[in-house]
Chain A
Amino acid sequence: MSEQNPAPQQANEDYSPSRRAFHLAVINIFGALIGLALAVPTGIYLLTAPRKRGGTKWIDAGDVGQINPGTPVELSFQESRLDGWRLVTEKKTAWVVKNTDSSIVAFGPQCTHLGCAYHVENGQFVCPCHTSIFSLDGKVTAGPAPRPLDRYETKIENNRLQIGDLKQQA
């Protein structure tokens, strides 16, 4: 409001320019303080992540002892996560591939292009949407997919696959 330049006060001699300047300064400073006191908490309220409550990181996805090397298997598992104030349990899936050295890779079930669910065709992962094709190690061999398939963090306990967070691959 400091840009205001209204006509000089009519016939009000006690309203001196210095008084007017003081009033303008107070209006601007107080206005700015109120604005800040509302804007900063609102920014924090909208932009910071809510307090995290504990949850277990590793989810059991089943026995992987019987999986044949080189044959992708779709495993499903239940994940509980906090959706705001609700604890929701969702069914999730992973494409699991056992390598010849018995190491296990679990891929996220969505194409890295636009998130369609892909399937297995002739020993490779094929996305039905825009025909991106991934090899069994997740690399893009054809189509518009910009990066290899996302992988879950995994570990094996007593032959059972434990699934962790989904991580993007460079």
Chain B
Amino acid sequence: MGDKLKQLLDEIDHRTGIVSGLHHFLNEDIPASSGWHQIFGSVALFLFMVQFFTGMMLGFNYAPTPGDAYSSVRYIMTEVTGGRLIRGLHHWGASMIIVIVVIHMLQVFIWGAYKKPREATWIVGVVLLLLTLAYGLTGYLLPWDNRAYWGTVVTTQIGATVPMMGPYVSRILASAGAIGVQTFARFYTMHVQLLPPLTMILIFFHVFLVRRHGVAPAPGDELKPKKKFFPEQVFKDTVAVFVAFAILFTMAVMAKVPLERMADPTDTAYIPRPEWYFLFLFQTLKAFEGPLEVVGTVVLPTLAIVALILTPFIDRGKLVAVRQRTLAIGIVVLAGIGWGGLTGAAVKSTPPQTVASSIDFAGPTQWMESAPNELAGIGYYRREKCGACHNIEAGTTAKSGPNLVNTARRHDADWLLTHLKNPAAASPGSSMAPANLTDAEMKDVQAFLLKLTPDNAEVVDTAPDFAVQGAILYQKNSCGACHAVNGVGGKIGPALNGMSQRRNEAWVIEHFVNPKKVSPTTPMPPYNFKQPDMQNMVNYLFTLAARAPGQ
């Protein structure tokens, strides 16, 4: 078997040179000082491959036009088996690449490995860092949720402030005026068609240059015997890659991958924030106002890039031991403190997102389509712990009471009310206790049970508490006599779907407390809800879809 395999490999090598080429590649001589500090390049390369791969996999189920993009990402997250994991790998992999690429650069910087003759390797590396950031910037828009949309609004506006070039930047990004289908197409094409081949070519060139000049030695290494890249250093690289992948995989499984509501250009309540690795730039901008703004948006970033590129030409001294590179270490520490401070300040100054904009749209959202009386009914169902004796989903283990799915097929509305009030009267022999609910509350439970089908049963578990409490309050105050929610209710007052697009939270609260003050002609009486009722009510109203379902 071993001989046969060797013979086969020899035959293949004779014709292609692949095997001996790989041997040649792996048998590189590396300096005796090589070791754990040089693992980061391999980890970065591995993460790029993971991004290429998971990006392609996402592409199999992704439609690159606004609207459809959002629906298809939601489809990947909620319906495609394993889709959540694949997107998780891609999402967190993007962040991880930034971390690893920066650590890789810091290592090279601290060790002074960019010195002659390795200037070109360093410069290509700087360009690769910029490409990595460009991936982050362009990929951010592709899920087309509110976060993506508003983040990109800010980014493109920054691009537009570049002196002289601004209008052309806007033209290229098709972002003058508004972010739309064209902007989307440009970002998508950059992300999946322009950047990947460019990155591949530059990574190839980068590795080629590393091979050409050899791995940078420590001073004094020249006299020591060389080591081989394989398997000693490959072992270290593999361990590092494995640890990185284990962290990435864990994050993809455990950590939430954000998907907010679909991009809504009219959402005035949304507070855009860039991805964490751009927060320091975002914070820098705040220091420059008016005509000075361009310092923060263009001048400083450009200076930083130029300084990075020129590093090997500024620092031209001989190789020295890491311990003696105090200036380099000092610069890294200062940069780290500056970056951390700016990022921390940006995080600290970020107001908490409203409940409405923090709902996970990659999770179940069917509860948003329920009528208020059904949601209130779910609240009473939970309060009365009906689930202790009844199942609501098919296929679950039997409980003492019957499964309630498709109740409407078996019983009518009157029967249900009788049953809730006096179970034994409707179902002789029933051991169920009478529900401890008022007549109005029972009507809500009745409404919910009559609408309960296998398709919407999950709502009982997934409706968030604030929405259920808001709906209970809504029912108790008979808001539905004048207002409609999700197509159910009166027509005297305005329908409440889409209110989040017309009003802000402060206005709505004011309107509850003193309707005539903000809307002089309204017939609505004042409602001075206490906390947390008021907040639940407002949050509930703000999570309603812009349009009632089916309209």
Contact = CB atoms under 8 A, between A and B. Distances in A.
Given A37-B249, A51-B81, A85-B74, A42 B241 contact: no
Interface in B209-268: 225-228, 230-232, 234-235, 238-239, 241-242, 245, 249
Interface residues of A, number: 35
A92 interface: no
Contacts of B74: 85
A6 B235 contact: no
A15 B232 contact: yes
B231 A85 contact: no
Contacts of A44: 81-82
Contacts of B242: 30, 33-34
A42 B231 contact: no
B53 interface: yes
A4 B82 contact: no
Given A45-B80, A51-B79, A38 B225 contact: no
A34 B75 CA distance: 26
Given A26-B238, A31-B238, A42-B57, A37 B227 contact: no
A44 B6 CA distance: 34
B263 to A, nearest CB: 16
B83 interface: yes
A7 B241 CA distance: 26
A6 B79 contact: no
For A12, A30, A85, the residue with the greatest tally of chain B CB atoms inside 10 Å of its CB is: A85
A84 B86 contact: no
B85 interface: yes
A45 B81 contact: yes
A48 interface: yes
Contacts of A85: 63, 68, 71-72, 74-75, 79
B27 interface: yes
Interface string A37-73: 1100110111011110110000000000000000000
Given A10-B226, A23-B232, A45 B27 contact: no
Contacts of B23: 4, 6
Interface of A: 1, 3-4, 6-7, 9-12, 15, 20, 23-24, 26-27, 30-31, 33-34, 37-38, 41-42, 44-46, 48-51, 53-54, 84-86
27 contacts: A3-B9, A4-B23, A4-B230, A6-B228, A10-B225, A11-B225, A12-B227, A12-B228, A20-B232, A23-B232, A30-B238, A38-B50, A42-B82, A45-B57, A45-B85, A46-B60, A48-B82, A50-B79, A51-B80, A51-B81, A53-B455, A54-B454, A54-B455, A84-B72, A85-B71, A85-B72, A86-B68
Given A3-B5, A3-B9, A27-B238, 18 more contacts: A1-B234, A9-B227, A9-B228, A11-B225, A24-B235, A26-B235, A26-B239, A33-B242, A34-B241, A34-B245, A44-B81, A46-B60, A49-B81, A50-B79, A54-B453, A84-B61, A84-B72, A86-B71
